[in-house]
Amino acid sequence: VLALVGGVRRAGHEYNRATRALRNPGSAVKPFVYATALEEGWTQATLVPDRPLEFPDPSQKGGVWRPKNFSGTFLNREITVRYALDLSLNLPAIYTAQAIGVEKVARKLSQAGFAVKYPTLAIAIGGASITPVDLAAAYAAFANGGYRVTPIYVKRVEDAQGQVLYQALPERQRLFDPQVAYQGWDLLKGYVYDLGEKGLAKGARIPGRVVGGKTGTTNEARDLWFAGVTRGLSAVVWVGRDDNKPLRMGGREPSSSVVNPPIWREFVAGALRGRPGGDFPPPAGLVQVGMDLLSGQPSQEGVKVWFPQGKVPVLPLQASPSEGTGLLQEAPPAGVAPTDYPPGSNEEASPTPPPGQ
C-alpha cells in the first residue's frame, strides 16, 4: 500500500474508511462476474441478453424480483459481453451469473476479497460488500497476471542498529489465470475508451497512460466508486456518508461516472508523474483483432479486443460499421439506440441482496 486516506483527521474521529468500511460496490463488481465467465470459456464477444428477467422472491413486493437497468429501459436484444460492460447494464450481468452458476461467482468474489453474505444473483450487480483497499487489491489482479495479493501496510521494522525486527511476507493467491486476467484488463480498458465521449469513465483518462477501470453506484447514490488500474498503480476512490444517507449534488442524485473518475485521475496523474506509462504486455496465447461491439463479429473498424487463440470471431460482417464507435449500423432495438445513452445516465443502482432472494 503506497498511499491511503481513510477520512478527515479530527480528534475523536479516526475511523479509517479505507480499511474498515464494508460497502456495496455497485457495478464495480461486474468485471469479476464477466472474468468468471471468461474462465468458463466465454469471450468478450459472447452474446448476452439485455431483456427483462424476473425471479421468485418473497421479500420483494408481489413476491417477485424484477431487476432493472438504471435507465429503466432495455435494449431487448443480445449484445456482447464487452458492450454490456461498456454500458454498465444490469440485466446482462445477472444473466451471466445465472448462466455460469451464481455459486461460482460467489466463490470468485470471496476469493477476491468481497464479503458475500447472500450468494444470490444480486451479487452480480453489487449485492456483496468490500472495503476500498480490498477493492484496489482485487482490481490489481487484472494487471499482475491474475493474483490477489494481500495488502501490506508495513514492509519492514528495524531497530536503531538496523536489525530487522519484522519483515512482511507477501501473501498471494491465484485468482485468474494470466489469459483470463488480461482479458479482464482488456474489458476495463474498454470501459474507459470504447465509447469515446459517451464513455462513463472518460474522466479517468490520463494523457500518456493506458487506464482501465469501472465505476459503481448503489441505491439512491449512497455509494459512489471508481476502481482503476494503470501501469504502476491500482487505486480506488469511494465517495459516501458514514450515516449511509443518499448523496445529493445540486438537489439530484450524483453519478459515480461524473464524480469519481476525475478525482481518481488527479491523484494518479500526480502520483505517477515522471514514471513510465504504456500498456501491460499480453501473455502468450492471446491475439488481438477488431470486433464490432454490438454483434461480436470481426470488424477492421471495430474496437481492438484480445481473444484466446482458437476463439477469435470468424463470422462475416453483413453491414458497415458506424463511424468512431465500432457499432454496426442497424435499426435501434425496441426504439432505443445504443448510442443514445448520454454520459452518466446509465450507471446502475445496485440493490442490497434481501435474505429471501
Tally the C-alpha atoms within 13 A of residue 7's C-alpha that lie toward its C-beta: 16
- pLDDT reported for residue 233: 96
State how far the Cα of 186 lies from the Cα of 205, in Å rounded to an integer.
15
State how far the Cα of 53 lies from the Cα of 331, in Å rounded to an integer.
24
Confidence band, pLDDT 50/70/90 cuts, at residue 5: confident
Read off the pTM: 0.86
Tally the C-alpha atoms within 13 A of residue 345's C-alpha that lie toward its C-beta: 10
- pLDDT reported for residue 354: 31
List the beta bridge partners of residue 64.
56
- pLDDT reported for residue 352: 34
Could you list the beta-strand ranges (E) of 113-174: 147-149, 156-158, 164-167, 172-174
State how far the Cα of 268 lies from the Cα of 341, in Å rounded to an integer.
28
Average pLDDT, the chain: 87
Assess contact for 301 and 289: CB atoms under 8 A: no
pLDDT in tens, 211-268: 999 999 999 999 999 999 999 999 999 999 989 999 999 989 999 999 999 999 999 9
Nearest by Cα to 268 from 136, 123, 86: 136
pLDDT in tens, 82-91: 999 999 999 9
User: What are 178's three cell numbers?
Assistant: 494470466
User: What are 233's three cell numbers?
Assistant: 498503480
Is the pLDDT at 311 greater than 50, yes or no?
yes
List the beta bridge partners of residue 8.
none
pLDDT in tens, 19-48: 778 899 999 999 999 999 999 999 999 999
- pLDDT reported for residue 316: 56
Domain residue spans of the chain: 18-149+172-333
pLDDT in tens, 65-116: 899 998 899 999 999 999 999 999 999 999 999 999 999 999 999 999 999 9
Helices of type H across the chain: 17-20, 30-39, 81-86, 90-100, 102-112, 132-140, 178-193, 256-271
- pLDDT reported for residue 347: 58
pLDDT in tens, 226-241: 999 999 999 999 999 9
Q: What does each C-alpha distance from 270 to 4, 208, 317 come to in angstroms?
A: 15, 13, 44
Q: What is the CATH number of domain 18-149+172-333?
A: 3.40.710.10
Angle between helices 90-100 and 102-112 (to 10 degrees): 100
Is the pLDDT at 197 greater than 70, yes or no?
yes
Is the pLDDT at 55 greater than 90, yes or no?
no
